[in-house]
Amino acid sequence: MGATAVLSEFASKTRIADISAEAVAATKRHILDCAGVGLAATVEPAGRIVLDITREQGGAPRA
């Protein structure tokens, strides 16, 4: 079994109750931090470049 399959199986079988409260809280903070950094980057020059390229390439509106 490859690494992706092992990770997928682990993730699909893990229940939130199996994860410590500290790990869940840290994960929530990291997700919020990532979203905040991504949002803040949209007004920075480098972030604007990435945003413009993404818009040019198009894609599914719901992607």
DSSP string, the chain: --HHHHHHHHHHH--GGGS-HHHHHHHHHHHHHHHHHHHHHTTSHHHHHHHHHHHHH---TT-
The pLDDT tens digits of the residues spanning 24-62 come to: 999 999 999 999 999 999 899 998 898 889 888 887 777
Q: What is the pTM of this model?
A: 0.60
Residue type at 31 in one-letter notation: I
Q: Per the structure block, which two tokens stand in for 10?
A: 């682990």
Q: How far is it, in rounded angstroms, from Cα 24 to Cα 46?
A: 32
**The pLDDT value given to residue 34:** 97
Q: What is the pLDDT of residue 63?
A: 60
